[in-house]
A and B are shown apart, each in its own frame.
Chain A
Amino acid sequence: MLLLALDTSTPAVTAGIASLDATSGAVDVLAEQVTVDARAHGELLTPQLTEAARMAGIKLRELDAVVCGAGPGPFTGLRVGMVTAAALGHGLGLPAYPVCGLDAIAAEATGEPLLVVTDARRREVYWARYDAKGVRVAGPAVSAPLDVPVADAVRVAGHGAQVYPDAFDLPVVAPSYPTPCGLVRVAAAAIAAGAEPEPLTPQYLRRPDAQEPGERKRVRQ
């Protein structure tokens, strides 16, 4: 099966074309385009995915599904990937599978208990914890770096560990950002089974900053 994987939940603008062997679950990334620029998601994502398709030698209409990182991540960038997946799903008549971006990072770093942290801005990180088999056992959540419960994790992945190098006293392992391969691996079972995708709802983990107005200020007479 031919898949398009997208993620905009971190400063990386990520698009890749992968093939998935529905029987064995093997994932082969045919082409990927990644730019690290937190201010260019809206500009670059679609040009990058069309370029990845061109490099892979396929037309978008040959795709079987779209996989999209659903966060958690800073809202404005995160929405670019989500709405791109929704529009491609509608435009191409494809299922679009949301996956947790932290899970996609963990999928590329299995083996020992792992903490994944990404930058949530405002001096906080998004985090989740995984067991040796790569199963998420805590999170996703948003916390101050020093409040993240490390528990039995023996390694840390995700660019949050680079943004807050002193907060996590663990060996840092790759990857820093969700990769096309990791994204596809997380969704592979559902795609291979032809499961109905979950709704494309982002994991914001924070409410909008908005306060209801109080008593109106009086004007000076």
Chain B
Amino acid sequence: MSKIIMGIESSCDETGVGLVRLHDDGTVELLADEVASSVEEHARFGGVVPEVASRAHLAAMAPTARRAFATAGLELRDVDAIAVTAGPGLAGALLVGVAAAKAYAAALDVPLYGVNHLAGHVAVDTLEHGPLPEPCLALLVSGGHTQLLRVDTVASKITELGSTVDDAAGEAYDKVARVIGLPYPGGPPIDKAAQQGDPAAIAFPRGMTGPRDAKFDFSFSGLKTAVARWVEAAERRGDAVPVDDVCASFQESVADVLTAKAVAAATEFGLPAMVISGGVAANSRLSALAAERCAAAGIELRVPRPRLCTDNGAMIAALGAHVVAAGISPSRPDFSAVPGLPVSTVTV
């Protein structure tokens, strides 16, 4: 008997409700993936405002769930289990999803699993490319996270190999966009401008790549400052800022460091496959350079389509399906949202 799993996500600025079917053979099929985003409400502030996000989650939660059931052509009573993001994320935002999930689970009398958002970013790949080759390496890159993970079993055993010591990669994109007058969020406009620019025009630094730096950690704060310094120096000289070259050179630095460290980690730990997920996985240069370097190193590269890489409920439903399939116990009814949930804790 296949099972229907509902997934609820509210860790940042996207309210997501996903529905998947867990088949008897362990494969997971996407049935609905509805997202309501508050990104436009945050744009004028230049970043996500937690209270604005939390208010938007409350307003969007039940309507988004209704849309998901309508899209999937399912009834609420078809649901066999619910998974919800327990963390990491913004405390007030997480709480809306957790409270909603507890209420849905009580209403439908089904088990509830509080799960890890980061593990969801890995699990979502199974909706597109089938079962994960485990163990594998995962590179998670978004506005809030930049991490290298060793995934032995997505439902229960994930180990952090490295992470950013300051800004997330997506955060660096937002800050650089502000320096050169491009809109928030910065990823898409910088990627677009970079297509017209020369990635070798400016030698921006590669953070944390010195001989004494932690091999699998990242730093993007210095890169952001280097871009600002270069742009301001050009302005002071009265030169026109070559926005396309700045974008291409900045993007090259980000993609270079991310892919070099990811490939090095996969090689060192003997991991034959790599998943890249999170909002920045949609970046064209990151995926192109990753494809090139993985091919050269003999690593199978899996990048879910952009719609699945950004935050959504389908990824939480997908992870929930793997957790259910693994026979893991449901969460206690009084479990808490955990803003700093470590990636090693896949279920709470």
Bound complex: CA of A83 vs CA of B59, how far in Å? 8
Q: Which of B23-31, B102-110, B272-280 is near enough to bind chain A?
A: B102-110
Q: Which residues of chain A have C-beta atoms less than 8 A from B62's C-beta?
A: 83, 86-87, 89-90
Partner of A221, one of B51, B102, B232: B232
Main secondary structure of the interface of A (DSSP, over half): helix
Contact B334 A47 (CB under 8 A): yes
Contact B100 A202 (CB under 8 A): no
Could you tell me how many residues of chain A have their Cβ less than 8 Å away from some Cβ of chain B?
39
B149 within 8 A of A: no
Q: Identify the closest chain B residue to A91 (Cβ).
A: B107
Q: Which residues of chain B have C-beta atoms less than 8 A from A76's C-beta?
A: 54, 91-92, 95
Bound complex: CA of A88 vs CA of B109, how far in Å? 11
Bound complex: CA of A83 vs CA of B103, how far in Å? 8
Q: Which residues of chain B have C-beta atoms less than 8 A from A221's C-beta?
A: 229, 232-233
A42 within 8 A of B: yes
Contact B99 A44 (CB under 8 A): no
Partner of A90, one of B44, B52, B76, B92: B76
Q: Identify the closest chain B residue to A50 (Cβ).
A: B106
Q: Which residues of chain A have C-beta atoms less than 8 A from B95's C-beta?
A: 41-42, 76, 79-80
Q: Do A45 and B99 form a contact, CB below 8 Å, given A88-B107, A92-B107, A213-B46?
A: yes
Q: Do A86 and B100 form a contact, CB below 8 Å, given A46-B106, A212-B44?
A: yes
Bound complex: CA of A104 vs CA of B105, how far in Å? 28
Bound complex: CA of A60 vs CA of B49, how far in Å? 36
Contact A84 B99 (CB under 8 A): yes
Q: Identify the closest chain B residue to A210 (Cβ).
A: B49
Known: A79-B95, A87-B62, A90-B62. 19 other contacts (CB 8 A): A42-B98, A43-B336, A46-B102, A46-B103, A60-B109, A75-B51, A82-B58, A83-B58, A83-B96, A84-B99, A84-B103, A86-B61, A86-B62, A87-B61, A89-B62, A90-B104, A90-B107, A208-B49, A216-B178
Which A residues fall within an 8 A CB radius of B? 41-47, 49-50, 60-61, 75-76, 79-80, 82-92, 201-202, 204, 208-213, 216, 218-219, 221
